[in-house]
Structure 1
Amino acid sequence: MREILTLVSKEFRSEWRQKYALNGMILYLASTIFVCYMSFSLKTGTIHALSWNALFWIIILFTAVNSVAKSFIQEADGRMLYYYSLVKPESIILSKIIYYSLLMMGLSLIGLFFYSMVMGNPVNDLAMFLLTIVLASFGLATALTMLSGIASKASNSSTLIAVLSFPVIIPMLLLIIRCSKNALDGIERSVYTDQLLTLIAINAIVVAVSYLLFPYLWRS
């Protein structure tokens, strides 16, 4: 636990030193939302709830890819060798998952705030929508972190992570959109509780697989 907390603290300090990266992600969020606002001409009309939901998750998905996919790719070989001699691989992967999950939750909530300001907020069950955002942020961060670790072992890592992430992210994204749509419509929570439980189960499976398989990847 001490190793994990130390590595998470290191990630925060490293991100704080490189403020341009965090500022760039926030600028990406704001500019994408503004482009959506201008494209739909919201000064003269309103956007349909389905389109509102789809656009929001497209923005969050690309934000996740831009921010989380670099988790292992940006690490220098010398630093990885240094980690190899100091800490366990399980601590490495868990610290990355925790840090990027928190980062994605923060970016998603910031994105929701700006998005609601300019595009309106048609959500009827805000509590369940926020819960979906938390689960989605954790799931996307976990999957992309593990895929980044796999892709970092290849020479053309950027292309590889795009290929690997497609079959993993799309089923998760479909379930996320379905849960958020139910919260958007204000449907009785008991109707889609099983969908939320499925999303939680998928997140747990991805964490377990990352925890079990990353040591083999790390030794290679």
Structure 2
Amino acid sequence: MLRQAQHDVLSFTGPSVAHRTFAAVSLPAEIWLLLLKDLRLEWRQRSALGGLLLYMGGTVYVSYLSFSFRGGAPPAPAWNALFWVILLFAALGAAGRGLAQESAGLRLYYYTVARPEAVVLAKIIYNALLLLALAIPGLLLYTLLLGNPVQDWPTYALSIGLGAVSLASSLTLVAGIAARAGQGGGGTLLAVLGLPVLVPVLLLLVKVSKNALDGLPWDASQSAVITLVALNFIVGAVSYLLFPFLWRS
């Protein structure tokens, strides 16, 4: 695993570029290269992404069967809550494939070539993109099978984007803690620690998306959106400040 990670970085950038990349470049450039590395690894292991997409599709289809037996689409509040539950567990599965399941040898290798701030910020961006890649086709299938009660699509799309960033940033930090304390059970510890952290975020997301379903004016969602944006910045700042201490331990 350690040799594979080293080979991935060197094959992507070249030996001299890899040394220069992780030793003398700016933080944004380092984040960009780590993000490209994660995307390339994801492309090589497409079965993992396919498994997450299969989970989304299977869960949506089972939900469709459950409500079709009862005579139609669910009411709007249940429609909204069910979608966020599906996306929540998809986020737990996606985040669990990152820091929480990386080997100690791979983390040691990253420790020698990259700054911890770059590692955690790249993971947050990568997990947010991964969640968007799951949420968009999942939402399309969800509306196709269970109806489309959304009256304000721009606000609902905004809630999906903020939700992806919020879930990714919170779960990435928790995954870092789980990776240090899990001792092989990081995925389980991630779920135990992550769910309580995500409750306030989910309440805000459900509120914003429910307002979009009801077609309420922007003023009804503005305070919740501002709170979500502030939470994203706070969690990102906390990750930036605390992850180096986890990294060195």
TM over 0.5: yes
Q: Provide structure 1 residue ranges, at least 5 long, that are not aligned to the other structure.
A: none
1:213 — aligned with what?
A: 242
CA RMSD of aligned residues (A): 1.2
Alpha-carbon distance between aligned partners in 2 of 1:46 and 1:115, rounded to the nearest angstrom: 11
Residue in structure 2 matching 1:172, options 188, 201, 218: 201
Q: Are 1:39 and 2:66 counterparts?
A: yes
The more displaced of 82-91 and 151-160 is 151-160
Question: What is the letter of the counterpart of residue 133 of structure 1?
Answer: I
Residues 60-119 of structure 1: per-residue CA shift (max 9 Å, x gap): 001000111231022222221111111110000011011111111121111111101101
1:139 — aligned with what?
A: 166
Matches within 5 A, 1:77-116: 77-116=104-143
- How far off its partner does 1:53 sit? 0.4
1:70–1:148 Cα contact (<8 Å) kept: no
1:185 — aligned with what?
A: 214
2:153 — aligned with what?
A: 126
Alpha-carbon distance between aligned partners in 2 of 1:67 and 1:191, rounded to the nearest angstrom: 32
- How far off its partner does 1:43 sit? 8.6
Alpha-carbon distance between aligned partners in 2 of 1:115 and 1:76, rounded to the nearest angstrom: 36
- How far off its partner does 1:163 sit? 2.2
* Greater Rg by CA: 2
Report how many residues are paired: 220
**Percentage of pairs with the same residue:** 47
Residues 12-51 of structure 1: per-residue CA shift (max 9 Å, x gap): 0111111110000110000000000000116942321011
TM-score of the pair, normalised by structure 1? 0.97
Question: What is the letter of the counterpart of residue 91 of structure 2?
Answer: A
Alpha-carbon distance between aligned partners in 2 of 1:126 and 1:160, rounded to the nearest angstrom: 36
Alpha-carbon distance between aligned partners in 2 of 1:181 and 1:69, rounded to the nearest angstrom: 28
Q: Are 1:153 and 2:175 counterparts?
A: no
Alpha-carbon distance between aligned partners in 2 of 1:158 and 1:60, rounded to the nearest angstrom: 17
1:42–1:119 Cα contact (<8 Å) kept: no
Alpha-carbon distance between aligned partners in 2 of 1:95 and 1:7, rounded to the nearest angstrom: 6
Residue in structure 2 matching 1:67, options 94, 97, 100: 94
1:23 — aligned with what?
A: 50
Alpha-carbon distance between aligned partners in 1 of 2:106 and 2:186, rounded to the nearest angstrom: 18
Alpha-carbon distance between aligned partners in 2 of 1:74 and 1:197, rounded to the nearest angstrom: 33
Alpha-carbon distance between aligned partners in 1 of 2:186 and 2:73, rounded to the nearest angstrom: 41
2:100–2:190 Cα contact (<8 Å) kept: no
Q: Provide structure 2 residue ranges, at least 5 long, that are not aligned to the other structure.
A: 1-27
2:100–2:175 Cα contact (<8 Å) kept: yes
Residue in structure 2 matching 1:57, options 77, 84, 89: 84
Q: Are 1:196 and 2:225 counterparts?
A: yes
